[in-house]
Amino acid sequence: MKQHGRVICGSFLLGLASLAILSGCALLPHPTHATAKRAFIAYWPPPENSVGLRLAVKDNIDMKGVVTTAGSELFAKTHRPAEKDAPCLAIARQRNVLIVGKANLSEFAVAPSGFNEYFGTPASPLSGWRRLIPGGSSCGSAVAVARGLADVAFGTDTAGSVRVPAACCGVVGLKTTHGLISIKGVHPIEPAHLDTVGPLGKDIARTVQGMDLLQSGFAGRYEAAKAAKPSAAGLRIGRLTLKGTDPDIDQAVDLALAQAGFQVVPLDEKFREKWDQAKEDGNAIAAAGVWLSDQKYRYALGVSARSKSAILAGRISYLFNYRQAVARQGAWQNTLREVFKNVDFIALPTMQSPPPPLPINLQVGLLEALVLDRQNTVAVNFAGNPALAVPIPLLHGKVPVTSLQLIGPRLSEAALLNAGRLVESAVKKK
């Protein structure tokens, strides 16, 4: 009975936090800040006939001489330019990579839809007659690479903020192992347990290039992974199916895995129950992190009402859920270690449904709750493992693609991207 009550309480508080995240009134984008289809907060178009890699950097990552807005009007108007680069930019600077802009994001990186009242919200390139959400919080990073405005982009991922926009925009996104890439100089949400920096690219090859800008020598590790596993023969994929998933998306995932030639191993109900608990715990820690990192802005002028609501909801999560969730982290990490003794990777949809349309009324708060519930990402952050979102064809639906998520053991980024390469190659042939 005590366990049952805890689950109900946790679900109620999480629902309260979710509904509060976008309860503000300002729905129209600020008209003077739209640059390059709102993918960027600051955009520096490359010179004509320029060559070399073009990099977009999410605007919660410090860049020397540029104000880090974190998607906030308050920061844009009151903060001074950063005095130095975040360490994650070091390799890009050493190689003189052309940085084309600071990419848009949800304010303080807290909204999974990618919605931004002040700088405007970029629409997903998958949009038809209705503008679809770009996913968040790394919305600008995903839109920039999807629209060809950058070759690679850096995003941050606390609960899915690289993989969800990758899924919503039809690109590749890599969530890195927690602690692998320095998050110093990045506006935090929950650095102790969840925050990571990772690359996005239009395809696997570009994403490898992005990862090579984040970790020295990564390209060589990727080539070694390709040489070790040039085909899917012998690779075991633990297939996780979740209740409530759009059947067309599950079908697309199963078809992609079959086309690639993996050995698919269904994961059982017991693991699914542990996954669901990890999702609840990860969301509780992420919500509490908003309070821990941003509580000083809860009454500040220039901060949106929805962000203030998220901060206050995070306080509730911190008081009632945070410590209990953190206490269960070790057990969840051990569960994944045991699973990876029997399979090489875990596969499931990145999102359980296609990206919804951007709202045109006061249902924005419900949208955030919906996206938070439909994303299959935060349990990976709770474990600290790497995960890859790869676009795959969606045979039936309102959008042409959905997203397959592959999860690997800690520090398996090169092998994950190689597995993604096998999927990408297989679905392109069909």
Active site residues: 58, 137, 161
Q: Coil, helix or strand for 172?
A: strand
| Helices (runs of H) and strands (runs of E) counted in the chain | 15, 11
Cis peptide leading into 307, omega within 30 of 0?
no
Question: Which residue type, as a one-letter code, is found at position 129?
Answer: W
**Cβ contacts of 338 within 8 Å, gap of 6 or more:** none
- Phi, psi angles (nearest 5°) of residue 357: -75, 155
Distance CA 11, CA 279 (A): 11
Six token digits for residue 30: 């600020």
Give the neighbor-by-neighbor strand order of the sheet with 152-157.
Answer: 40-43, 98-103, 54-58, 152-157, 196-201, 172-175, 387-393, 401-407, 345-349, 236-239, 263-266
CA distances to 109, 117, 261, 417 from 387, in Å = 19, 30, 20, 9
> Are 118 and 69 within 8 A, CB to CB?
no
Distance CA 54, CA 101 (A): 9
Distance CA 13, CA 289 (A): 15
> Are 59 and 69 within 8 A, CB to CB?
yes
Distance CA 281, CA 18 (A): 14
Alpha helices, DSSP H only, in 375-412?
A: 378-383
Six token digits for residue 89: 């930019």
